[in-house]
Every structure is written in structure tokens, then in C-alpha cells.
A and B are shown apart, each in its own frame.
Chain A
């Protein structure tokens, strides 16, 4: 059961990690789809 709980914790951690990494790398749809003339922030 410890392995199962560790896998679930790992899954949650990777999900948050993916969100922050992809956002930082500019992979949000808003950034990808908008032209340079568009100010997002």
C-alpha cells in the first residue's frame, strides 16, 4: 500500500510540476496563439 500511496503522491507532484514548467516555458494557449502585438499581462 505504501507503494500505491507514493505513486499517487508522485502523480500529484508531477502534475503541479508540469503546470509550472509549461507555463514558465510559454506553452499556455494564450501565449502560443497571440501575436507579439498582444499584451497578456
Chain B
């Protein structure tokens, strides 16, 4: 008998413990006359998810209007609170003289999480990521030293990249470096430039940075397309790349792994540049033409069809679209900056003879044989000219 009583008590306790979330809310809501409760306020202050449908949908109605003869009759069916809630949740029919749907949104609180993310995690991860890769590369350089041509330069050169290839590469590289520098100046302006140089200096730097950023972006996008067209055929992944990665590009074991025009590491950089470059360009275009190219709601809808568990929002306000585009733009750009710093290292101080490929296009034949042996064989089979160092071209 006692066991049955204890069991019944336990079931009753569990029932009340599991189900009260809804009924408790309903009870508290009733006690506040349908308004938000202290729990709602505390949850919002803690940054927790709060179901605000009880406010969002409580916008008044003509049906609620008191008769004109009553003391509140002149207010009609909409109280001031009802009207403010309509503005607060962008449910009211707002008329403005500006162009565009965006101007009709009078209150939008997503800007706070955008600001906190940009001033918090975004800056921190950018600083850690960029600082980390620079420290790692310096450590690698001072422990392993510069990768040299085994046996020294041959004194003969072969053309690695033609003029139009180098032109396209440097348009992409030059524009990317300027975009990266100006983007970082804009990201760190408030936290670094203002404390050191003051508000006026930051204003001038930010004005210059956004001008350069907005206008040089066209060169980046055009040269990204050019690079893709020029080199995609040489960057199709193959089994050779797996061997290249297994040997760490020559760092693991002895000898250099075979490669054609581009090795596994270069293909990785190529596809990273193309995919992330396309993504950063899309979000950049969305920012260049504010409110005219929303893309996140559509992207989220596509993701939800593949991964329904994600449950991403598919209805976004114009400002939310811009906030997401801005955050995504920075995340992708910072990832690219980190990878490109490593690319610049290996293409300059990290490897003897590597810069020549994009410098004057002529690389040492021995360097080419060590890093791109199959490509050299192909070029020589086609009769590519071999030059002596010092030849006047």
C-alpha cells in the first residue's frame, strides 16, 4: 500500500514537473492580464529565446472597440500599446516617403545582436586567426628555414605563367589585399584606431577605406571570374593530389611528390579562392546595393529542405538580411585572409624560386622539375623553350 502511494506521488510530481512550462506560462500570463511576465523579462535579459507570439499577435482590433457612449469609446479598438506592438514587431501598415520596403521598418532589434557579434566574437576571432597564422608561419620559417632548390638553381628557366595569367593573378591579388586591409580597418576602427589616433583620424580612414572597398571590389569579382576560366581545367582534383597531401607537399619523407601544373596545395588554394571568393562577392553585392539583393531567406529555405532539423528562419526583415550579409561577408573574408597569408608566405619568402613564377613568369628548370615534374615533361614534349639565365628576351 505504501509503495502504491509513493508511486502515485512520484507520478504526480513528475507530471507537474514535466508539463507546467505551458500551463505555468498560461497561469502567469492570466495574472498579468495577458501581458508579459517577470519570467519573460528575466529570460530576455539573459539572452534566452522567448516566445513573443502573445505580444506579436496582440495588436488590437476594430471588434474590440467600446461603444462611443462608454468612457473608453473614443479610443476605438486599438490602444496605444496595441499600436506600439504593431510597430515593434513590424506588423503595422507603415507609410513612409522614402523608397523601399526597408524604410517601413521602424523598430528592428536584430541590430543589437549584429553589433555585439561584430564588436565581440568577430573581432576576437579575426585577431586570433590572423595573428595565429602569422605567428605559426614565423615559427615555421625560423625552425625549418626557407625551402630551397635541392642541388641549387640550374641556370636554365622555363615559362611557368604567361603574361595574361600573371595579369589576372595580380589583379585578383592586388584587389584582394586592398579589400582585406580596408575591411580590417573598418572592422577594427572603433577598437584600435580611435583609442590610438582619435575619432577624426578614424573618420578619415573609414571614409577612405569604404570608398576603396566599394570600388575596387569590381576588379576582384571580374578577375575571380577570369582566374576561374583560365585555370579551372588545371585544377580538377586527381589521385596525384592525395599522394601530394599524404607526403605533406614534400615535408614528410624524402623527395618531392609528383605534380602537374598545379599541386594539391595549389588546387586547395584555387578552390578555396573560387568558392569563398564567390560567396564573399555575393554578400558584398548585397551590401553594395542595400536591401535590393536579399539572399539569406532563400538560402535558409534551401538549407531547410536538405536539413529540416536546422529550422532556419525563412522570413527575414530587410535589415536582418543586411545584418546577416554583413556578418557572413566578414566571416568568409577573414577565412580567406588567413589562407591567403599562408599562400603569400609560400609564394615569397617561404620557398626559393616560387615568386619568379608570378614575377616575370620564368622559373628555374630544376625548381620546376622538383615541384611540377609532370608539367615540365608535358611542356618539354610540346617544345617549350628553355632559356639560359641572363638571356635578353
Give complex CA distance A9, B168 in Å.
Answer: 13
Residues from chain A with Cβ under 8 Å of B168 in the complex: 7
A15-B219, A19-B215 in contact; A34/B98 too (CB < 8 A)? yes
A3-B167, A7-B167, A18-B215 in contact; A33/B99 too (CB < 8 A)? yes
A14 lies within 8 A of B99 (CB) = no
Cross-chain contact of B174 among A8, A16, A18 (Cβ < 8 A): A8
A3-B170, A7-B170 in contact; A37/B359 too (CB < 8 A)? no
Residues from chain B with Cβ under 8 Å of A14 in the complex: 216, 218-219, 222
Total contacting residues, chain A, CB less than 8 A: 21
Give complex CA distance A15, B98 in Å.
Answer: 29
Number of A-B residue pairs at CB separation under 8 A: 66
Is A1 an interface residue, CB under 8 A from the partner? yes
Chain B residues numbered 164-184 whose CB sits less than 8 Å from any CB in chain A: 166-171, 174-175, 178
Residues from chain A with Cβ under 8 Å of B99 in the complex: 32-35
Residues from chain B with Cβ under 8 Å of A4 in the complex: 166, 170, 358-359
Is B100 an interface residue, CB under 8 A from the partner? yes
Cross-chain contact of B98 among A10, A11, A18, A35 (Cβ < 8 A): A35
Residues from chain A with Cβ under 8 Å of B212 in the complex: 15
A15-B215, A15-B219, A33-B103 in contact; A7/B98 too (CB < 8 A)? no
Kindly list 10 other residue pairs between chains A and B, CB separation below 8 angstroms, not including A1-B359, A7-B166, A37-B97: A3-B170, A3-B360, A3-B361, A11-B178, A11-B219, A14-B219, A19-B211, A32-B99, A33-B102, A34-B98
